[in-house]
Amino acid sequence: MKKRLGVAVLILFVVLSTVLAACGSGKNENATKGSEGSASPSASAPASSGTGGESDGKNAEPFTVSLRHIQIGEAQKFRKAILDDVVKKTEAEVPGLKFELDGVEDQVNRFTKLPAEMAAGNPPKIFDLFGGAGDALKYAKAGRLLDVTPIIQELGISDKFLNLSQFTLDGKVYGLPIGGSTEGFFYSIPLFEKYNIKVPETWEELEAAAETLKQNGITPFAMGSKGAWVPLMIVNTLIGRYAGPEAIDGFPAGTQAWNAPEVTAAFAKYEEWVKKGYFTKGELGLEYADMLNQFVTGKAGMMFDGSWRASVFKDPSQAGELTGKVGFFPMPPVPGGKGDQTYVNGNYSNGYGFSSDLNERELTAVKAFIKNMYNEEMQLRGLLEDGVLPSMKLSGDALGQVEDPLVKQIMETMRKAGGAFSHFDSTVQSEVYKESESQIQKLIAGMATAAEVAEALQKVQQAANAKQ
Amino acid sequence: MKHPMRNPWIYTLFTVPTLLLYGLFFLWPMLSSAYYAFTDWNGLENYRFVGWSNFSAAFGDPDFRRAIVNNLIFIGFSVFVQIPLIVLFALLIASVRRLRGFYKTTVFVPSIVSTSVIGILWGFIYEPEVGPLNRLLALFGLGPVYWLAEPKWALPAVLIANAWQWMGFYIVLVLAAILAIPKELNEAAVVDGANGWQRALKITVPLIRPLISVVVMLSIAGGMRVVDIVLVMTKGGPVGATEVMASYMVNEAMGVDPNYGFGTAIALVIFAFALLLTSLYQLTFGRRMEGGEF
């Protein structure tokens, strides 16, 4: 009997270990996939500059580091090329290293995939990350992000960044912005010439331009509000104008109410433009990419978008006939607006974050990645090839190399501005931002008035502030 | 000793792996989600026990109430519009001699196509400017309708795409039942002078009632858990016009400001609703339609 029991226990043991092995297979698969892919580069990797870590011979054991990026699709191809070069260089410097690139669409990564991975505690080792209260700071508080302060100090770049505020928590830096951006109006030069429209410098001129376009059957402002963050770009700058630059930080601090008349005025202006038909018809069914299409195909005369879109307009395969014929201007001062009306929206919020769960070799890889990604050369490449404003200080010489007139215009706008205010998506709590997404769509659909929207947001903001 | 298989402990031992697996993959997730439904767990921070507040928040949210109504519309549409059409199509196909196989195959094709493909396909059909539907309407001088962008049109548009996807599957089921009816019954009716309609309504339909009852129940269950076509076509928008309970759950549990605790509570609500509706149906119409043999 005892013997049989022993056999049974043995069988049980075998069965269970099979099950456990099956459970763990996900991880094993990754490892094998990575090592297969890295077979050739690891053998031929010459440690080019030497600083990339202690080179323990050419035959170092291969290892992989996962890297999540959002540079997918035609409009991101310049950014992807830069990333690819950084990846190649880093792999060459760190013996045995093979990056496993994982391209995921921006919104899916930011709002679906990364949060789930953060919750499960298994984010990629390097990943695209947004700064601010709803993203980087939240994950930093939960201990999921690597404190990169010592790394950037060691590399001597800690004082090179223009603005790390959206990645900084209690004096520690938890992510590095890849570039800066500002949001403003892109306009079609051919359409403006055709209808004799002057580039708007005042509010009256802007609304007159919109009216002229509308009269001629052209949509004044291209829009795709299926993703609510797209219309919220305009709303954010309208708030910066009507309620002043301080308002954006004032919401979470409790010093600015959403339902104050000056903020409601911003929503009211948006509502007025919706009612006047200044935005694309059927915008609630259109994606962000559709907005660009309407603008490029000449169906719309203006488009409020981020400066990151600039590179599209020098690429004939994307901009078509509009290549090189696009201008940029900031939102003009609004009559009766509070605060400095020359401020522009300025963000240093999109960049890379790193998992806090790294072994020694992975840490070496991350260090080398930071060294190769965040330097004057790559920042300049981003600016010249991709039109992305640098997130690090560049010399006057370097900046002088910019030839793209559109990028020059954007940089000039930034230079002339009295200062910059953030986007509220990086300052307010996630639940407030979420509410703003649903409220703006209600406003667009005509299911809520500006006052109702402001009221609803204030309610959520108060609840969120009370929780802190 | 000679009969180890008579020892109950051995039996227990052999069932342990299965029980463990069952516990690990079914019992434990169910119990833990029931637990998380009462917390404000967001996956990152420490969670608190919040009692019934997730449930009261859900039912207090007009968006969720609308999602429930939309689910009921899905069910209503499939039971009162789709099923009569399914039976009609099945009768038509059963009565043709030529090309029956061709019809059967073509109506079945949509149900083997992935929902993502169907969502995108119908997205093209509904495209406001170049989509075939609006072009057709334009021939009659009807202005462009923004099918998926206007709150009042989005739900019907999704309902139709969803119906198109699933009708074929049920048509084939019903068709099989119709073809299984002995020919003699119909032949006898013909001899008695019954016309086509009379035969369809008095002989065929009553004989396939048990199957129709199953189809109704599957439709109710399907209407309760519909989500994929909604996520692909509208993500619950515009402004929640096509939000169903499951898409509401996805949008709340994940996405901006994830709240897994709340999402789990919604999942439990969906489960309860589905259980309630299907059992109500079984206890009332279902039993009657199947002649009380259930």
Q: Are residues A230 and A272 in the same domain?
A: yes
User: CATH homologous superfamily for B63-289?
Assistant: MetI-like (1.10.3720.10)
- What was the pLDDT predicted at A3? 58
Q: Are residues A75 and A143 in the same domain?
A: yes
Most A CBs within 10 A among B256, B262, B264, hence the mutation to make, goes to B256
B60 DSSP β-pair partners? none
Q: Are residues A329 and A192 in the same domain?
A: yes
pLDDT average per 10 residues of sequence, chain A (468 residues): 58 57 42 38 38 50 93 86 94 93 91 88 94 90 93 92 91 93 94 94 94 94 93 95 92 93 95 95 90 93 93 88 92 92 91 94 94 92 88 86 89 88 90 93 93 95 89
CA dist., res. A247 & res. A461, Å (int): 13
A1 vs B: CB within 8 A: yes
Query: Could you tell me if A346 and A423 are in contact, meaning their C-beta atoms sit under 8 angstroms apart?
Result: no
User: What does the pLDDT average to over B222-251?
Assistant: 90
Contact B17 A12 (CB under 8 A): yes
User: Which residue, B228, B226, B224, B213, is CA-closest to B273?
Assistant: B224
User: What does the pLDDT average to over B226-253?
Assistant: 90
Q: Are residues A447 and A307 in the same domain?
A: yes
Contact B257 A445 (CB under 8 A): no
Which residues of A, range 14-43, sit inside 8 Å of B by Cβ? Answer: 15-16, 19
Q: Are residues A234 and A321 in the same domain?
A: yes
* Identity of residue A337: G
| Closest CA–CA distance from residue A448 to any residue of chain B (Å) | 11
Question: What is the Cβ-side half-sphere exposure of residue B128, based on CA atoms within 13 angstroms?
Answer: 18
- Whether omega before B4 lies within 30 degrees of 0, making that bond cis, reads no
Contact A9 B239 (CB under 8 A): no
Chain B residues touching A143 at Cβ < 8 A: none
**Residue B291 contacts by C-beta under 8 Å, 6 or more apart in sequence?**
B210
- What was the pLDDT predicted at A5? 58
Q: Are residues A145 and A287 in the same domain?
A: no
- If one counts the domains in chain A, the total is 2
| Beta strand A344-345 pairing with A420-421 | parallel
- What was the pLDDT predicted at A94? 92
What end-to-end distance do the CA atoms of chain A give, in Å?
64
Task: State CA A272 to chain mean position distance.
Answer: 29
User: What does the pLDDT average to over B133-158?
Assistant: 90
A139 vs B: CB within 8 A: yes
Q: Are residues A263 and A377 in the same domain?
A: no
B144 vs A: CB within 8 A: yes
- What was the pLDDT predicted at A31? 39
Which residues of B, range 55-114, sit inside 8 Å of A by Cβ? Answer: 63
User: Which residue, A433, A446, A108, A231, is CA-closest to B239?
Assistant: A446
Q: Are residues A231 and A206 in the same domain?
A: yes
pLDDT above 50: residue B204: yes
Q: Find the CATH number of the domain harbouring A321.
A: 3.40.190.10
User: What does the pLDDT average to over B91-118?
Assistant: 90
Chain B residues touching A20 at Cβ < 8 A: none
Confidence of residue B56 (pLDDT cuts 50, 70, 90): very high
Confidence of residue B119 (pLDDT cuts 50, 70, 90): very high
Q: Are residues A383 and A331 in the same domain?
A: no
Q: Are residues A367 and A314 in the same domain?
A: no
* Identity of residue B175: L
Q: Where are chain B's structural domains?
A: 63-289
Q: Which of A16, A141, A433 sits opposite B17 (nearest CB)?
A: A16
CA dist., res. A3 & res. A389, Å (int): 75
Alpha-carbon distances, residue A386 vs A404, A407, B274 (angstroms): 10, 9, 52
3-state SS string over chain A?
A: CHHHHHHHHHHHHHHHHHHHHHHCHHHHHHHHHHHHHCHHHHHHCCCCCCCCCCCCCCCCCCEEEEEEECCCCHHHHHHHHHHHHHHHHHHHHCCCEEEEEEECCHHHHHHHHHHHHHHHCCCCCEEEEECCCCCHHHHHHCCCECCCHHHHHHCCCCCCECCCHHHEECCEECCEECCEECEEEEEEHHHHHHCCCCCCCCHHHHHHHHHHHHHCCCEEEECCCCCCHHHHHHHHHHHHHHCCCCHHHHHHHCCCCCCCHHHHHHHHHHHHHHHCCCECCCHHHCCHHHHHHHHHCCCEEEEEEEHHHHHHHHCHHHHHHHCCCEEEECCCCCCCCCCCCCCEECECCEEEEEECCCCHHHHHHHHHHHHHHCCHHHHHHHHHHHCCECCECCCHHHHHCCCCHHHHHHHHHHHHCCCEECCHHHCCCHHHHHHHHHHHHHHHCCCCCHHHHHHHHHHHHHHHHHHC
Mean pLDDT of chain B: 88
Q: Is there a domain that residue A39 lies in?
A: no
Q: Is there a domain that residue A36 lies in?
A: no
CA dist., res. B251 & res. B58, Å (int): 13
User: What does the pLDDT average to over B50-79?
Assistant: 92
Q: Bin B43: left if φ > 0, else alpha if -120 < ψ < 50, else beta.
A: left
- What was the pLDDT predicted at A6? 62
User: Which residue, B257, B272, B126, B138, is CA-closest to A112?
Assistant: B257
Q: Are residues A294 and A443 in the same domain?
A: yes
Q: What is the pLDDT of residues B250-287, one digit of tens each?
A: 888 887 888 889 999 999 999 898 889 888 888 887 66
B25 vs A: CB within 8 A: no
Which range marks the domain in which residue A277 is found? 183-345+413-467
Q: Which of B44, B63, B255 sits opposite A118 (nearest CB)?
A: B44
The complex scores an ipTM of: 0.80
- What was the pLDDT predicted at A23? 47
Query: Could you tell me if A210 and A221 are in contact, meaning their C-beta atoms sit under 8 angstroms apart?
Result: yes
